[in-house]
Amino acid sequence: MQFHFSDEQEQFRMMVRRFFERQCPTSATRKLMDDELGYEPAVWRRMSSELGLAGVALPEQFGGGAFGAVEEAIVAEECGRSLAASPLFASSVLAARCIHKVASSADCERLLPALARGDRTAALALSEPNAEPSLSGITCTLTVDQDARLSGRKHAVIDGANADVIVVVARLAGSTGDAGITLVEVDPGATGVTVSVQQPLDPTRKLAAIEFRDVQARVLGEPGEAASGLRRALNQALIALSSEMVGGASRLFEDTLEYTKLRMQFGRTIASFQAIKHRMSELLLSVELAKSAAYFAAEACAADDPDLNYYASLAKAAASDAYMLAATEAVQLHGGIGFTWDADVHLWFKRAKSSEVLLGDASWHRERMILNLPAEVSARRAGQAE
Amino acid sequence: MQFHFSDEQEQFRMMVRRFFERQCPTSATRKLMDDELGYEPAVWRRMSSELGLAGVALPEQFGGGAFGAVEEAIVAEECGRSLAASPLFASSVLAARCIHKVASSADCERLLPALARGDRTAALALSEPNAEPSLSGITCTLTVDQDARLSGRKHAVIDGANADVIVVVARLAGSTGDAGITLVEVDPGATGVTVSVQQPLDPTRKLAAIEFRDVQARVLGEPGEAASGLRRALNQALIALSSEMVGGASRLFEDTLEYTKLRMQFGRTIASFQAIKHRMSELLLSVELAKSAAYFAAEACAADDPDLNYYASLAKAAASDAYMLAATEAVQLHGGIGFTWDADVHLWFKRAKSSEVLLGDASWHRERMILNLPAEVSARRAGQAE
Amino acid sequence: MTQESSASLSDIAAQAGAWLDGNWDPELGLVEWRNKLVDSGWGMPEWPAQWYGRDFGAAEVRTVEQEFARRGVVGVARAGIRLLAAATLLEHGSEEQKQQFLRRILTGEDTWCQLFSEPGSGSDLAGSTTRAERDGDHWSVNGQKVWTTSAQHAHWGLLVARTDWEVPKHKGLSYFIIDMKQNGIDVQPLKQMNGHASFNQVFLTNALVRSEHLVGAVGDGWKVAMTTLSHERRRADGVRSGYADIGLQVEKSGRIFDEERDELATVMEPYSWYPQRAGRVDLAAPRAIESGRIEEPAVRQELARLLTMSASAEWTARRARAAQRLGKAQGPEGSLGKLAASHVARQASRVHTLIAGSDALFAGPQSVEDGIIAEILLSTPAVSIAGGTDEIQRNIIAERVLGMPKEARVDGGPFRDVPRNPTN
Amino acid sequence: MTQESSASLSDIAAQAGAWLDGNWDPELGLVEWRNKLVDSGWGMPEWPAQWYGRDFGAAEVRTVEQEFARRGVVGVARAGIRLLAAATLLEHGSEEQKQQFLRRILTGEDTWCQLFSEPGSGSDLAGSTTRAERDGDHWSVNGQKVWTTSAQHAHWGLLVARTDWEVPKHKGLSYFIIDMKQNGIDVQPLKQMNGHASFNQVFLTNALVRSEHLVGAVGDGWKVAMTTLSHERRRADGVRSGYADIGLQVEKSGRIFDEERDELATVMEPYSWYPQRAGRVDLAAPRAIESGRIEEPAVRQELARLLTMSASAEWTARRARAAQRLGKAQGPEGSLGKLAASHVARQASRVHTLIAGSDALFAGPQSVEDGIIAEILLSTPAVSIAGGTDEIQRNIIAERVLGMPKEARVDGGPFRDVPRNPTN
């Protein structure tokens, strides 16, 4: 583990940050909140062609940028800071990553380059209503005979209403647990597919419910063998999400700090009140700790650490708590103004809340940590350590 | 529910408080910390004869004071404030109450008046090593044939090393769950009884481990039928304990508040620092809420509320959290001095810690709350209530 | 008549009942009936006898209210802030002001709004920078107010404005009644993060106040405003429940009830999300049970924490009310309600999130509980801000209840020199 | 030689190795060996060449340390506060002081203690009221110091005392070296709530300091003390690990090791409970598993919280160290370690309580883990107090890292007039 970014990585971060600052100010975000697509195609094209971000998560052979998990985390963190709207998380991080980890080379060749170029977008249909966020809870059912037919319901499919291709996590009929988990590709226009937009709590994250009624599907990879590949892909997505979250938390922290230094009450800035100072110190601690957890997880991911389940869940649990704390404190310290629609705080508040429960909430990930304790944590160390 | 104390109750409280202030200053408590008995027999005699406190929990017919649960809570709260050392909790609240709720009238006649007078003391052997604090976890085994024979181990028996009689919660051999739970009386000098003093974390609360090896015991009440009576007695003990805890928390709060107003740093009292002011406000809130919970539970107990399991556990959970918060904040705000042996803060800190886990910790009682949700909490109300 | 009066409570119940027997008619017009109530003294019996009341004490008032409730009789207008206006006028208003306003407050013909808060002075009311200047027979007012509920349909506003910039901040304010229906006033709805627009911004540009609508003397604004706010606080403490417990048992049909329902619908509309703001603790356990999430240990722990906090906050409030009822010195418990409510709301939001799981991603009528859960998650942050932030509450508790030293003031000089937020 | 020196690190390793080959002998006496080390410049190569060092930079020092560690060679004396004394003297001491003290610091012949804190000024070092007055050729010192580790066997004390009461507090202090073995000094152990007595109170009654043992000028006490404290802080941040990673791999037998063990046992005795103070996170998961309590969902959640907090605090410290190593501007992460440690310790205490259940009622060698758990529960409160309270840490972070305004000072005038705690 390096515990620092290289100069190249820092330069890459600043380039991405400047791009988002120019292209994705909150004025643009606000317009996109009411837009059905939810992002600006021209900006997405530039993100893809000029910066290569659409392929950030993919290897060169499939048109990707040959970036590592750390660079992907940097991009995600900057997305979280700016709330830049794009299909990046849904298509590049979630869907393309799952395809890459599960599908055959031929299918990767067929699907990924267009996604890596940003010419097409994909959505991952994973979450199901009233189910816990684990693969074993999947109920969407696939019957594989001459062809593969898919039935079931998904919800909260990010950018699901406008994707060119839908990738669905399903299970073979009659299977349970990890066994039988299969990734399939579905044409959104196929017979039996009903996509309906769901009103999101966070209007910067577009969601759709998708119902599949005996829909023709194309299996990616071996039927029933997708679980371990998906788990690796989802760990990486969790780390990207955690990075996005600590980016948002940092931004809220900085904006709030700046506001306390400007806002006067009782003839002095509210930053001069000791109670505010102490809370800002505690908030900084919480955000910086979550940041370290996300950075470590990204490095662990890049190093293919065998305990990635543990570190990814640790990062998500830390990010969930820190982001919600930052969001709550940001509204509170902005006072009445912080509760208005016109102030920007609520944009991140809503992102914090939706991120908190996306891909499993903090308590679910804490439980997952305990189920995946690394040996150096679960065993007594030789001698007494401090 | 009255939500206030009557004038008589307030006068009773002040009488008890003044008695403890005079008879049980912390200088006396400190001496008793090294004393094997752990209390001053002369003070206990006066508590019993002059104030009638030894019988506070018992009905008149058995020599008790005809006080109600509210008066008992008042006494407990004042004990918690002063850390007055006496067999009150072990003998009168725990052991005598269990005897009263379980034993036959004849046994009550035989045992309780001497306890109510404070002439003899009893200890309740309930908790077992590595067992959860519920009746169903009891493993001490009783075989009833011509006579009753008891085997098993108890620990953390409060004042167990010096009691005149030991009352043991056991189960009939072969039974499980509530069924088979039996209360028995054991002579501490009987063959097969081994009492060993356990070094307590809180030196103001004397503890003993007791091992029974085929000991002759006397069954109180019907064999195997003690569970429901014991549960009522233990709910009352929980409420008394919660009251003691909020008394201690209040005292810590008041002492800390006074200290912040005296202690100068940087040319001003530390009470003048806003961060300290805000924390004291939050601590007050926590302590007052826990106090309300203890008061309500005492009134619910006096009114024989059918949901007493719920309210007693609620009071204990609130008291555990508030007392530990008060103890932690008290040490912290007293600074280095608060961590010394010579400052009194640690006396309550240790009482807070030992009370936190006595008769079940906060998380155990929260779990018990959910298992005993009252109908008005678990059901949707008609109309929309705020 | 005072509480020590010889008339027993049952005599009072009988008298009120007799008058109602002779006068109550659900087919009357709402204003017509309320004028009768006003003239009789039964509509607001706690008010002075010379102003439509009977000088009744709390026990007697409760007796009258129970008599009304038992019969399902419509009372005088109470909703909104009109009674805060009335209480302020009763204490500080001139004879002419009382004459002009009090009756129409009770009949409901006039609605009121409160022009206190400003964008630059939220927690710091005395820092108001809205300016009132004498202009012949009038005052001319310029500035901006905010968080004004019902400004869009109010007839009259309670206005605090600065009339002297050379004296310390608390001393340079005056208190006015301003006609809201004039060109100098522009009311703009203020949308909140939960999508509701319960409040308004009010822009005052050479808005006029008649000289006789100054309340108290010039420079008395802070003192008069404190009267308004103390009544607001008392109401917030729930000592007066207003409509809440009146007339639930009786079948209500008749013209007067239709008119009352219309009136209430308008006045109460801004408050539709207030139950959600408080966290809807009532929904927590039922939702956990119905969704099956109560099987989840983390849900059980957090739910129990919420129920503990919420119940003990409620019991603490009842301790305060019981002490007040008995005329006892109030302990600290009376000052803790607002802060406790913030904790309850925050924990409720946590629990509702835990129960909802990925359903917390959705909002709107198609989402869980018809959108109620999403509204909770986006509304609870307001509890710790509105009506005095948690920070202000903690200051008040520390200084007034615990006797800790006050913050050193840096804004004690002439207001002109006090650093403040820029106004736009 | 500096980091930019042309001598490559491998050259340095070779030189150090060659010297050790020729000189190291585990049968030497400890002081004898250390005198050799001092003379060679290999014992403290980061020190100046004229004072027993080689002017080495961090990378070079690390190389030498590794060479020592690889061979299991005993180094100069480092434990206790002796190196803080040395660093202070190197920066502010006179030639005579360096001559007198530095060598015996390194050989371990002298031990030191720090007389800074007072009962009346814990967080506020500049508020010291211990008084030093000129008395002919000496200074005469009166007052009381507290939290003095190892005062009972120290030969010398680093003393801050007030020499001028008419100037602002920071300006009236002077810094002295005081001989601890004299009649005017009474050392009393100070027992803590966990039963240990790691600290002392030191009563100074007409205690004497030689004139030549003033460090820096009269009135420079605050500045000189800051040097001592900055080195203490650097050490607390773990940048220097002292003995921790040296010589674990090599079999250690020989006279010198016996002498070193005795030395360490004395110096380290007061710190035996420090691992427990920090919360013993290492024990949490193993204990939860071995006790079976890991099956309890509440234990699992709180344990995961602890592990999250502890690991991310550790990674944050490593980020800070990495930035420092690379010579990069340090972000906020460098100032958070102390505050993070308090959170970790508090949560660890919670988790150990949860795991222990009713076993948390017991203490002493018969209790769980030979009393270690009880010691944790009674020691963790010290983390957020010792070495700068959490409150002070939060002030520092807010003011220095976040650039928020400093607290208004009320103690800026002549110290004589500053309100302070009564002394007894």
In this predicted model, what pLDDT tens digit does every residue of B204-246 receive, in sequence order? 999 999 999 999 999 999 999 999 999 999 999 999 999 999 9
Residue C257 parent element (H or E):
helix C255-268
Mean pLDDT of chain B: 95
Integer Cα distance of C287 and C354 in angstroms: 11
Note whether C142 and C187 are same-domain residues: yes
Nearest CA in chain D to B354: D361
D171: CB partners within 8 A, 6+ apart: D164, D219, D222
Q: What is the pLDDT of residue D268?
A: 84
Q: Does a structural domain hold residue C337?
A: yes
Q: In this structure, what CATH number is given to the domain that contains residue D198?
A: 2.40.110.10
Chain D residues near residue C301 by CB distance under 8 angstroms: 297-298, 301
Note whether D66 and D121 are same-domain residues: no
Q: Indicate the number of domains in chain A.
A: 3
Could you say which of A76, A98, A120 is where a domain stops? Answer: A120
Nearest to C362 among A199, A339, A367 (CB): A199
C356-403 confidence digits (pLDDT tens): 999 999 999 999 999 999 999 999 999 999 988 999 999 999 999 999
Nearest CA in chain B to A276: B275
pLDDT at C72 over 50: yes
Q: Does a structural domain hold residue C418?
A: no
Chain B residues near residue A274 by CB distance under 8 angstroms: 273-275
D257-273 confidence digits (pLDDT tens): 999 988 888 888 888 99
Could you say which of B86, B120, B154 is where a domain stops? Answer: B120
Q: What is the pLDDT of residue C251?
A: 67
Note whether A213 and A233 are same-domain residues: no
CA distance B274 to chain A (A): 5
Contact between residue B280 and residue C402 where contact means Cβ atoms under 8 Å apart: yes
Q: What is the pLDDT of residue D240?
A: 32
Note whether A99 and A162 are same-domain residues: no
Q: B275 in contact with A at a CB cutoff of 8 Å?
A: yes
pLDDT at C1 over 50: no
> CB-based burial of residue D295 (10 Å sphere; 0-12 exposed, 13-18 middle, 19+ buried)?
exposed
Q: What is the pLDDT of residue C26?
A: 92
Q: Which domain holds residue D158?
A: 105-225
Query: Cα dist. B346→B84, C43, C259 in Å?
Result: 15, 59, 65
Note whether A378 and A249 are same-domain residues: yes
Q: What is the pLDDT of residue B233?
A: 96
Note whether B147 and B107 are same-domain residues: no
Q: Does a structural domain hold residue D140?
A: yes
Note whether D58 and D112 are same-domain residues: no
Q: What percent of chain C has a predicted confidence (pLDDT) above 90? A: 78
Contact between residue D347 and residue D305 where contact means Cβ atoms under 8 Å apart: yes
- Read off the pLDDT of each residue in C323-336 and give the average, rounded to a whole number: 80
Contact between residue C214 and residue C158 where contact means Cβ atoms under 8 Å apart: no
Q: Which residues pair with residue A158 across a beta bridge?
A: A207
Q: A271 in contact with D at a CB cutoff of 8 Å?
A: yes
Size of interface A-D (CB pairs under 8 A): 131
Tokens 């005198």 -> residue:
D35
Integer Cα distance of B40 and B47 in angstroms: 11
Contact between residue B211 and residue B178 where contact means Cβ atoms under 8 Å apart: no
Residues 239-258 of A with CB under 8 A from D: 257
Q: Does a structural domain hold residue B2?
A: no
Could you say which of D38, D57, D76 is where a domain stops? Answer: D76
Note whether B287 and B380 are same-domain residues: yes
Size of interface A-C (CB pairs under 8 A): 139
D208-249 confidence digits (pLDDT tens): 999 999 999 999 999 999 999 988 877 665 433 333 444 444
More confident residue, C241 or A188: A188
- Read off the pLDDT of each residue in D357-379 and give the average, rounded to a whole number: 96
Note whether C291 and C213 are same-domain residues: no
Please count the CA atoms within 13 angstroms of the CA of B285 that sit on its side-chain side: 26
Q: What percent of chain A has a predicted confidence (pLDDT) above 70? A: 98
Q: B191 in contact with D at a CB cutoff of 8 Å?
A: no
The closest alpha carbon to C148, from C180, C182, C106, C104, belongs to: C180
Q: In this structure, what CATH number is given to the domain that contains residue B128?
A: 2.40.110.10
Mean pLDDT of chain A: 95
| D193/B339 CB distance under 8 A | yes
Nearest CA in chain C to A361: C357
Note whether B242 and B381 are same-domain residues: yes
Could you say which of A194, A225, A256 is where a domain stops? Answer: A225
Q: Does a structural domain hold residue A107?
A: yes
Note whether B379 and B244 are same-domain residues: yes
Q: Does a structural domain hold residue A338?
A: yes
Q: What is the pLDDT of residue B2?
A: 82
A150-162 confidence digits (pLDDT tens): 999 999 999 999 9
Note whether D109 and D12 are same-domain residues: no
Residues 306-345 of A with CB under 8 A from D: 314, 317-318
Q: Does a structural domain hold residue A252?
A: yes
Note whether B363 and B255 are same-domain residues: yes
pLDDT at C418 over 70: yes
| B349/D193 CB distance under 8 A | yes
Give the DSSP letter of residue C380. Answer: G
Note whether C384 and C277 are same-domain residues: yes
Integer Cα distance of C105 and C111 in angstroms: 7
Q: Does a structural domain hold residue D134?
A: yes
Q: Does a structural domain hold residue C368?
A: yes
Residue C161 parent element (H or E):
strand C156-162
Note whether A67 and A140 are same-domain residues: no
Q: Does a structural domain hold residue C408?
A: no
Chain D residues near residue C304 by CB distance under 8 angstroms: none
CA distance A317 to chain C (A): 13
pLDDT at D364 over 60: yes
Q: Indicate the number of domains in chain D.
A: 3
CB-CB neighbours of D411 under 10 Å = 20
Contact between residue A316 and residue A242 where contact means Cβ atoms under 8 Å apart: yes
Note whether C118 and C221 are same-domain residues: yes
Task: Pull the structure tokens for residue B217.
Answer: 């015991």
Note whether B82 and B134 are same-domain residues: no
Chain A residues near residue C298 by CB distance under 8 angstroms: 363, 366-367
Q: What is the mean pLDDT of each run of 10 residues along chain B (386 residues)?
A: 89 96 96 94 94 90 86 96 96 96 97 96 94 88 94 97 97 95 97 97 97 97 96 96 98 98 95 98 98 97 95 98 98 96 97 97 97 95 53
Q: Does a structural domain hold residue B358?
A: yes
> Counting every residue, how long is chain A?
386
Q: Does a structural domain hold residue D412?
A: no
pLDDT at D329 over 80: no
| N-terminal to C-terminal alpha carbon distance within chain A | 21
Residue D18 parent element (H or E):
helix D9-23
Contacts of residues B101-110 at CB distance under 8 Å and 24 or more positions apart, as own/partner, are: B101/B229, B101/B230, B101/B232, B101/B233, B102/B183, B102/B220, B102/B221, B102/B226, B102/B229, B102/B230, B102/B233, B103/B183, B103/B220, B103/B221, B104/B220, B104/B221, B107/B185, B107/B220, B107/B221, B108/B62, B109/B62
Q: How confident is residue C3, by pLDDT bands cut at 50, 70 and 90?
A: very low
Chain A residues near residue D294 by CB distance under 8 angstroms: 370
Note whether C54 and C143 are same-domain residues: no
Which of B277, B311, B323 to substitute to test the interface with C, most C CBs within 10 Å? Answer: B277
Which of D301, D349, D361 to substitute to test the interface with B, most B CBs within 10 Å? Answer: D361
Q: Does a structural domain hold residue B130?
A: yes
Residues 281-320 of C with CB under 8 A from D: 297-298, 301
Q: How confident is residue C4, by pLDDT bands cut at 50, 70 and 90?
A: very low
Q: In this structure, what CATH number is given to the domain that contains residue D376?
A: 1.20.140
- Read off the pLDDT of each residue in A368-385 and give the average, rounded to a whole number: 85
Note whether C12 and C68 are same-domain residues: yes
Chain D residues near residue A261 by CB distance under 8 angstroms: 403-404
Note whether B173 and B245 are same-domain residues: no
Note whether C132 and C64 are same-domain residues: no
Q: Over the range D81-112, which residues count as b (16 or more CB within 10 Å of their CB) and which as e?
A: bbbbbbbbbbebbeeebbebbbbbbbbbebbb
Nearest CA in chain D to C410: D408
**Three-class HEC string of D184-248:** CEEEEEECECCCCCCEEEEEEEEEEEEHHHEECCCCCHHHHHHHHHHHHHHHHCCCCCCCCCCCC
Q: In this structure, what CATH number is given to the domain that contains residue B327?
A: 1.20.140.10
Q: What is the pLDDT of residue D267?
A: 83
Which of D291, D296, D299, D358 to substitute to test the interface with B, most B CBs within 10 Å? Answer: D358
Tokens 């801004």 -> residue:
C270
C192-206 confidence digits (pLDDT tens): 999 999 999 999 999
Could you say which of C191, C209, C225 is where a domain stops? Answer: C225
Q: Which domain holds residue A48?
A: 7-120
pLDDT at C329 over 80: no
Q: Does a structural domain hold residue A2?
A: no
For the ranges B59-73, C285-299, C342-356, the lowest mean pLDDT is seen at B59-73
Q: What is the pLDDT of residue D3?
A: 44
CA distance D334 to chain A (A): 10
Q: What is the pLDDT of residue C422?
A: 85
Q: Does a structural domain hold residue B99?
A: yes
pLDDT at C307 over 80: yes
Size of interface B-C (CB pairs under 8 A): 131
Note whether B380 and B248 are same-domain residues: yes
Note whether D63 and D122 are same-domain residues: no
| B278/A277 CB distance under 8 A | no
Helix, strand counts (H, E) of chain B: 12, 9
Note whether D113 and D220 are same-domain residues: yes
- Read off the pLDDT of each residue in A69-73 and give the average, rounded to a whole number: 92
ipTM value:
0.95
- Read off the pLDDT of each residue in D70-91 and give the average, rounded to a whole number: 92
Which of A272, A273, A274 to substitute to test the interface with B, most B CBs within 10 Å? Answer: A274
Chain B residues near residue C309 by CB distance under 8 angstroms: 289
Nearest CA in chain C to D408: C408
Q: Does a structural domain hold residue C307?
A: yes
Query: Cα dist. C297→A367, C301, C304, D289 in Å?
Result: 10, 6, 11, 19
Q: In this structure, what CATH number is given to the domain that contains residue A23?
A: 1.10.540.10
Chain D residues near residue B262 by CB distance under 8 angstroms: 421
Nearest CA in chain A to C370: A199
Tokens 């009259």 -> residue:
C156
